[in-house]
Amino acid sequence: MQNPRSEKLEFLQKWMEGMGKCTSLKKNMSLLERKKAIKVSADLAMASTRTESKCWSRALIANIASRDHNSKVLTEHVIGSSQCLRLRKAFTSSSFSQLKNKRMLNRTRKIMKRRRRTVRSRVKKVVMADSIARRLVQKRTEMLKRLVPGGDLMDDDVSLIEETLDYIQSLRSQVQAMRCLLATSQLMNCS
Amino acid sequence: MEQTTGGFTGFNLSAAGERDQATLESIQFNEEIERIIAPAPENISSFTALLGLPPAQAKEILHSPNCDGVTAAAFPTYGEQPLCHINDQKPHILHSSSGTSTLPSNSALIERVAKFSVFAEENSPPEEPNLAPLSPGANLNRVKHEPPETDSNPKPTPVIPSNPSIEHKNERAAKRKEREKKDKESSKKSKSVVDETSGDRDKLPYVHVRARRGQATDSHSLAERARREKINARMKLLQELVPASPQISGTALVLDEIINHVQSLQRQVEFLSMKLAAVNPRIDLDLDSILATEGASRADCNFPDMVTPPVWQEVLVNGNRQQYQHQWQFDAFNQPIWGREEENRNFMTPESSLLSYDSLANSAPLHSNHLEMEL
């Protein structure tokens, strides 16, 4: 387990780098643009501390890089262009579209199953608690998959849970860092 | 784990509101489920009946010897088990193992059981057809197992700390199954009752699972059980991480909590970035300028752990009031939810817990509505 303090410092550094790059890209940003820049840089910094070990960080970076040209430039600056290239190869449009097709296929299959089930349930009106429980759990895993970046790429529950664990930890440290920075900047501004 | 303890203080307070919402929701769930299950018959042959009974009675019923009414298919994919079952298994097995003095590694087995006991009941009849495909090996093994149990009992010990070679795994699994079946057949005369533990997962790189009495022992269900155990272990970890959920049992509710937590964290990130953008007219505030100011030294020290908020609070209360007026002037948009949350954040007194509780409680209903719509 890496030293949490050094991790946080690294996160701060990368975040500052990202924000510096944003200002160099465009001066005099509006409130919303600033907010978006802050958030994106923070996400990138957070993901960069975990790139090698976890899937969600790679998926997050790939998502950000594919949004628009500015984001792509920013990610390359923060992450390092070589790593960025590697990630883009891993999540290239072709393989990603394959994954997307697979996702769509899974969704259509689920819809078809749901339709068949509703037809059958009219025939026998037996309500089983086990199927209710299973359905509840399934719905929740789907939701979790949507929340965690890169979640729907994972088919087995074990890795999904591990990814969630890691993601929650990173989010927490991110929120802590932001709060701290906010406190300091407020202090600075008023004094 | 100082960062997490620091985080906990903040999050316990903020999650209190969500917790109330979630418990309300879970109460509604429970009522719904009970309403659905109430007309179901009271016999033990369906999982639905178990759900309808209070947990103590369910425990009793599941522990009774004729548990074969409860089918494996009745259990959901995650293997929902209330945590009380794990504690109950331990005395059950301790009691039965004290009767057999011939098992050499009693304490080790019991420890493992206490760590990894899985309560998944399956039908015993499937054992019989399983004997058929394994019969060619069975005869050989039976000859070996003719001698009394003192001979067979040392055998488990060399099996358990075995070397991780996957090609031998199936062979050993088959031999083990045979041995267990032979043991079970002989044990009907009340010989060794406890041979069954679940395997050790942490020490060995691959899975060693032994079948419990009254359970199927084909490789599929073993693998399935191992997988379920892994998932349950991870879920327990997650439960510890998410605040306010050690008393919740049941996969769906735990997942609920986790989802709530992740969503609240993401929303917090959004909100904090908005606030940061509002506070600084330009965002390239670098570490040097922060380090240069006097207050920054305090910030750096406090940074790893947010355990000393009282130092900040008085200062911030004074600073924020002024800041607050500035913000309202150059805020380009006044969405009500942002406004409410900002208002709450500015008063960082001991009541800050209550106020942040408020702001998150306001956003929690959105989530609960969303869930209800889905269901």
| Alpha carbons A119 and A61: distance in angstroms, whole number | 43
Local structure of B66: helix, strand or coil: coil
**Does residue B265 register a pLDDT over 90?**
yes
List, in order, residues 6 or more apart from A171 with CB less than 8 Å away.
Answer: A46, B262, B265, B266, B269
Fill in the DSSP letter of residue B210. Answer: -
Provide the CA A169 distance to its chain's centre, in angstroms. 13
Q: Phi/psi at B24 (nearest 5 deg)?
A: -60, -45
pLDDT score, position B307: 38
List alpha helices for chain A, DSSP H. 4-25, 31-48, 55-65, 69-79, 81-90, 93-123, 129-147, 157-190
Asked whether the beta carbons of residue B259 and residue A34 sit closer than 8 angstroms, the reply is no
For the stretch B229-266, what's the b/e string if a residue is b when 16 or more beta carbons lie within 10 angstroms of its beta carbon? bbbbbbbeebbebbbbbeebbbbbbbbbbbbbbbbbbe
- Taking the CA of residue B92 and the nearest CA in chain A, the distance in Å comes to 27
pTM of the model: 0.49
- Residue A144, classified by CB atoms within 10 Å of its CB into exposed (0-12), middle (13-18) or buried (19+), is buried
Asked whether the beta carbons of residue B287 and residue A13 sit closer than 8 angstroms, the reply is yes
Contacts of A139 in chain B (CB under 8 A): 374-375
Give this complex's ipTM.
Answer: 0.83
Summarised one tens digit per residue, pLDDT across range A96-125 is 566 667 777 877 887 888 777 666 655 555
Name the residue with tokens 């911030």: B316
Q: For an interface test with B, give the residue of A1, A155, A181 to mutate (most B CBs within 10 A).
A: A181
| Alpha carbons B97 and B111: distance in angstroms, whole number | 12
Q: For an interface test with A, give the residue of B259, B266, B368, B371 to mutate (most A CBs within 10 A).
A: B259
Q: For residue B334, give the amino acid letter.
A: N
Nearest to B265 among A34, A36, A168 (CB): A168
Local structure of B318: helix, strand or coil: helix
Scanning every residue of chain A, which has its alpha carbon at the shortest distance from the alpha carbon of B255? A140
Provide the CA B15 distance to its chain's centre, in angstroms. 19
pLDDT score, position B314: 41
pLDDT score, position B347: 40
pLDDT score, position A109: 82
Scanning every residue of chain B, which has its alpha carbon at the shortest distance from the alpha carbon of A2? B1
User: Is the Cβ–Cβ distance between B255 and A148 less than 8 Å?
Assistant: no
Task: State whether residue B302 sits within 8 Å of chain A by CB.
Answer: yes
- Tokens (6 digits) for B122: 């399956």
Asked whether the beta carbons of residue A179 and residue B280 sit closer than 8 angstroms, the reply is no
pLDDT score, position B288: 57
Length of chain B measured in residues: 375
Band of the pLDDT at B160, cuts 50, 70, 90?
Answer: very low
CA distances from B55 to B33, B58, B65, B84 (A): 15, 5, 18, 9
Query: How many Cα neighbours within 13 Å face the side chain of B341?
Result: 17
Q: For residue B313, give the amino acid letter.
A: Q
Degrees, nearest 5: CA angle A127-B118-B201: 135
| Alpha carbons B155 and B203: distance in angstroms, whole number | 19
Band of the pLDDT at B207, cuts 50, 70, 90?
Answer: low
Task: State whether residue A6 sits within 8 Å of chain B by CB.
Answer: no
Task: State whether residue B233 sits within 8 Å of chain A by CB.
Answer: no
